[in-house]
Structure 1
């Protein structure tokens, strides 16, 4: 029995959203991976990333449309990926870089603030022995 038109439309929309989610995850992965990495490590990271991405997209499709995975679901995921990379990807990468810099700065400041009392303690301990 063919699916109703509204169900088919939902499947197409959720497939497009799944493609955008995949694109956002891939942009984040490109920022995390870096440039100067050994080839073997790149292969391992790629396999782990695509396994994670598969789990995320499958969970999303399972939650939204009962994981109906027809050929046109893959087609619309691929189409939305192409549109995402052509139109939106550079903006998302820019925003992700700003967020990553903020997170790195936060952890750097927190680390320095946590280590500072120990530095003072150790410097005073060193002065007592002199």
Structure 2
């Protein structure tokens, strides 16, 4: 294998290590945000490692036709270490900020939906029932005036 091919493979696998670090930090933030129970956490961990293995396998296939050499391990470790040393802290801040922004957008979207769709429907329903409630209230008042409740029984004094 030529030296330039090995350098290209090294850089591709190092970039794959960086990508796996980014995915892991994203998964960590999601898991910290939602705090799933242990069973869901275990399944999500398994899914992360399956995805990570698939990405690493695809990078190996694309980089050097799947040849597993010592420099591939060095490249993967170098990529992950460089990411965690240089960019992880900044990426965590960025991803937390993005998730907060998404949460705010979701909250604002819900409020706009309630204001634009639910409140007008509720107003129309209440307005359509107003004549019936008004008539019912007036009839009830009229009935109470025509038929007052009986007076309370007088208590006899103790002997």
1:64 is displaced (CA, Å) by 4.1
Q: Any unmatched runs of 5+ in structure 2?
A: 131-159
Matches within 5 A, 1:12-91: 12-34=10-32, 36-91=35-90
- Secondary structure of the 1:34 match is helix
Deviation digits for residues 35-70 of structure 1 (CA, Å, limit 9, x no counterpart): 633222211110011112222333344334434332
Deviation digits for residues 109-130 of structure 1 (CA, Å, limit 9, x no counterpart): 2232223222221233123213
CA contact (8 A) 1:21 1:57 kept: no
1:27 is displaced (CA, Å) by 0.7
CA RMSD of aligned residues (A): 2.0
Tell me whether 1:127 sits opposite 2:127 in the alignment: yes
Q: TM-score, normalised by structure 2?
A: 0.70
- Secondary structure of the 2:36 match is coil
Q: Any unmatched runs of 5+ in structure 1?
A: none
Matches within 5 A, 1:84-123: 84-116=83-115, 117-123=117-123
Q: TM-score, normalised by structure 1?
A: 0.83
User: Runs (4+) of structure 1 moved beyond 6 Å?
Assistant: none
1:71 is displaced (CA, Å) by 3.2
Which protein shows a greater Rg?
A: 2
